[in-house]
Amino acid sequence: MRFLAAFLALPLLAQVDTGAISGTVSDASGAVIPNVQVTVTHLDTNIKTALSTNASGFFAAPSLKVGRYTVGATAEGFRPEMRTSIDLHVQERLEINFTLQVGSSASEVTVTAAAPLLESETSSLGQVMEQKTITDLPLNGRNFIQLATLTAGTLPSSRTAERDNFIANGARAIQNSYLLDGVENKNRILGFDKGVAQIVQPVIDAIQEFKVQTSTFSAEFGQAAGGVVNVTLRSGTNQIHGSAFEFFRNSKLDALPYFQPAAGGRPAFLQNQFGATLGGPVRKSQTFFFASWQTSREVNAAPQIGSVPLQPVRDGNFGATRMYDPATVRTNPAGAGFVRDLFPNNIVPASRWDPVSVKFAALFP
């Protein structure tokens, strides 16, 4: 006997990496109009979201993918109205209101929307970095998080081993939260390499946009006491699109490093970062794909500064530094604890050196 089990998952309306469009539909006298058919259309994918106004004339379309939209309102006895060129960004809540005019449905009113000067639907403080900003501004190593410091209230972080973080409103860099398409991307939580703040480092050509929120963000970002970096990746559209890139650095274009001997010339440094992106439809207006790839090649012969033991130390002579013989550790006859003897003249005899350490010491310049 075989059993078939079906599980239903109810969608959650938290808008981590999406936006929302809402508004009110009224007539010329200001009276609200219920049961108005409102259609929200994503222009790149032609995906439509259909809804109706309630008894108060209000409509809301949550969890919309970022991008450019048109919003249309249609009601019996009124001329249809269309709002075009509406740019929706990550975590943005736009208010688009309609005032329908009495008339025939054969004619339509089209209004080109402008970005609102004030976002009245949320009190969150932050800044959106769009795709053009991400790809056009110079970034050392193509690390997009360097742009986070363009947000008000942020500073570069210099007292941490992580290479891709920042300080928001005086909080520690470790208190920031990093999201990638709505999924937690913070390295410290999962205990991986502490040299980077993010688990997945997205290719900047694959980033649609990202938003840095620094204050009064909603409860869905409860893990963050500092800033929130919310990254949204690009999606395929109804048109096939792609790109290829290479960024090249050559030491012949660099100045002579300060610690490099003048007779040695410029040390060799060659860096190539290259990759490609490709996106398009699997089934138009329904299913899409997008892929990105990047790799790096580097040859680096830059001078390095380090401390090496002097010859007396390599011979076992530590001078004024007190060196105790671990083989002489014994119980303190005068009381609690242990005592041990110094090596004569603080010189460790060669017979006491570990064979591996002897070979290792010979490698020092």
pLDDT in tens, 230-284: 999 999 999 999 999 999 988 888 887 777 777 777 888 899 999 999 999 999 9
332 within some domain: yes
What is the CA 191 to chain-centroid distance, rounded?
18
The answer on 50 and 135 residing in a single domain is: no
As a whole number of angstroms, the distance between CA 131 and CA 210 comes to 8
The CATH number of residue 137's host domain is: 2.170.130.10
Domain around 348: 311-361
The answer on 97 and 27 residing in a single domain is: yes
Note whether 97 and 26 are within 8 A (CB): yes
CB atoms within 10 A of CB 71: 23
279 forms beta bridges with 241, 290
What pLDDT does residue 161 have? 72
71 within some domain: yes
Closest by CA to 102, choosing from 21, 31, 22, 24, is 31
The answer on 245 and 184 residing in a single domain is: no
What pLDDT does residue 157 have? 86
Residue 2 tokens read as 């075989």
12 within some domain: no
Closest by CA to 229, choosing from 154, 177, 185, 188, is 177
248 within some domain: yes
The answer on 130 and 207 residing in a single domain is: yes
What's this model's pTM, rounded to 2 decimal places? 0.72
The last residue of a domain, from among 177, 202, 233: 233
What pLDDT does residue 9 have? 37
What pLDDT does residue 196 have? 83
The answer on 192 and 155 residing in a single domain is: yes
The last residue of a domain, from among 74, 89, 112: 112
Task: Classify the C-alpha dihedral 339-344-348-352 as positive or negative.
Answer: negative
As a whole number of angstroms, the distance between CA 85 and CA 341 comes to 83
The answer on 131 and 194 residing in a single domain is: yes
DSSP 67-90: EEEEEEEE-TTB--EEEEEEEE-T
Low-confidence ranges of the chain (pLDDT < 70): 1-15, 105-107, 113-121, 189-194
Closest by CA to 268, choosing from 281, 249, 285, is 249
Question: Residue 310: CB partners within 8 Å, gap ≥ 6?
Answer: none
> Domains in the chain: how many in total?
4
The answer on 274 and 214 residing in a single domain is: no
What pLDDT does residue 360 have? 87
As a whole number of angstroms, the distance between CA 80 and CA 100 comes to 7
Residue 92 tokens read as 């943005």
The answer on 184 and 100 residing in a single domain is: no
The last residue of a domain, from among 197, 212, 233: 233
The CATH number of residue 81's host domain is: 2.60.40.1120
The answer on 108 and 78 residing in a single domain is: yes
DSSP label of 345: G
118 within some domain: no
Exposed e or buried b per residue across 148-176, where buried means at least 16 C-beta atoms within 10 angstroms of its C-beta? beebebbeebeeeebebbbbbeeeebbbb
The answer on 353 and 280 residing in a single domain is: no
The answer on 213 and 130 residing in a single domain is: yes
Note whether 299 and 266 are within 8 A (CB): no
138 within some domain: yes
Where helices occur in the chain by DSSP H, the ranges are 131-136, 187-190, 311-314, 355-361
Closest by CA to 102, choosing from 77, 80, 72, is 77
What residue type is assigned to position 310 of the chain?
L
129 within some domain: yes
CB atoms within 10 A of CB 33: 19
The answer on 84 and 66 residing in a single domain is: yes
What pLDDT does residue 8 have? 35
As a whole number of angstroms, the distance between CA 300 and CA 267 comes to 8
What pLDDT does residue 162 have? 75
Decide: helix, strand or coil at residue 305.
coil
**Which residue is listed with tokens 């209004």?**
111
As a whole number of angstroms, the distance between CA 81 and CA 74 comes to 7
